Amino acid sequence: MQLTFLGTASAQPSSTRSHSSLALRLGGDVWLFDCGEGTQRQLQRSVVKMGRIEKIFITHLHGDHVFGVAPLLAGILNGAGGTADGEEDPREFLDVNNPVLEIYGPLGTRSYVRSSFTHTYTLLSCPYVVHELRMPGDPKTGDFTNVRRHRAESPSGRNIQQVDGVWKDIFQNDTVSVSAAPIFHSVPCIGYVVNEPTIPGKIDPKKYIPELRRTGTPMSVMSQLQQGGSVELSDGTVLHGPARRPGRKLVILGDTHDPSPIEPLALDADLLVHEATNAHLPDVDDRTKATDTFESIEARTKSRGHSTPQMAGAFAKRIRAKQLVLNHFSSKYAGDDDVNRDSKAIMDTIGGLAAEVYGKEVICARDLMSVTISVPPET
């Protein structure tokens, strides 16, 4: 499991930060979380393979998180070009029953993507589907648009309703599941939780092999024990495999000034990605106004639906996150802190403010930075 931050800017991109997007690599597959303007170019500059993108999860429909969706899909699904003078384009006769790319997002995502393709005459050679996570006040059915379904859009898009305030297991396979919950921002916004099922514990063959030999049990039962199962031997002895361990949990939040509704799903996350749009940095940022205080900056940040580093640190502590990565920084905070001392002083201070509350070291994301989420060592 590896996360690559493709863009880490809030509202305005800068020469050192692109708009929001991050890529999660799971084995060979790639899932994107948000897809702001410029995501396609950032992918080309990164270690992430664009053709491996299977799913895109949208946190909310603010432009800095979705303006890159249509160009990216056109890039992946062969949407460029067209034919003139009534020539037939095979993309007009697409079988949409097996969409190769899934998009998840709040109400309006389907309409936004559909309108983008329709009004730009974009044809795609592979189908896509949009599943919407509907809030309690949203219409339960329908597409939220009068624009007819695009030729490449599969009609199998689900409208997923909340149960007990969350969207549990919106996607699930043998190796991973995704759940989601609303988080508070200035517009409807979603946080996502990627969860592995339990994983096998570490097996000590010395504990089992003599017993298997003694009773003439085939060694093939070792695989059953490795999975945490139990095996009864010919003399009635029962061997129990090592207890299975919780899998990794990754929590990716969209913009927020209060993510508390996702707390029950997010507890004990191995990694939390939390925004930190603004901070009060009187010692390192000479643009700080004399009238600014920590309280005034926090109040202004919250009023716009965003968080300070301290707010991010407090939430990470509350959910007992093992690691915290901050992203979505104001364009004031340049992302060249790997090569620029002034930027480093600012980003170190932002990380330090979150760490003071969180109680552990904090990473401030930089564009194209990757973070690996390892399987925690057995205790």
Is 259:251 a contact under the CB 8 Å cutoff? no
Is 5:54 a contact under the CB 8 Å cutoff? no
**Residue closer to Zn ion, measured from CB, 143 or 298:** 298
**Residue closer to Zn ion, measured from CB, 106 or 313:** 106
**Residue closer to Zn ion, measured from CB, 64 or 270:** 64
Catalog residues that contact Zn ion under the rule CB under 5 A: 62, 64, 255
The label of the residue with tokens 């063959």 reads: 205
At residue 301, what are phi and psi to the nearest 5 degrees? -60, -45
270 is annotated as an active-site residue: no
Set 29, 34, 64, 286: catalytic member: 64
In angstroms, the CA 354 to CA 317 distance is 10
Tokens of 300: 């202004």
**Residue closer to Zn ion, measured from CB, 7 or 241:** 7
Which residues are registered as beta bridge partners of 348? none
In angstroms, the CA 69 to CA 179 distance is 21
In angstroms, the CA 361 to CA 316 distance is 11
**Residue closer to Zn ion, measured from CB, 130 or 190:** 190
**Residue closer to Zn ion, measured from CB, 55 or 62:** 62
Tokens of 174: 């043998």
Is 3:32 a contact under the CB 8 Å cutoff? no
The DSSP output letter for 332 is T
The DSSP output letter for 287 is T
* Among 109, 254, 137, CA closest to 192: 254
Q: Would the CA dihedral through 264, 268, 273, 278 be positive or negative? A: positive
21-26 sheet: strands from edge to edge = 159-161, 128-134, 101-106, 53-57, 29-33, 21-26, 2-7, 370-372
Residue type, 185: H
Residues recognised as catalytic: 64
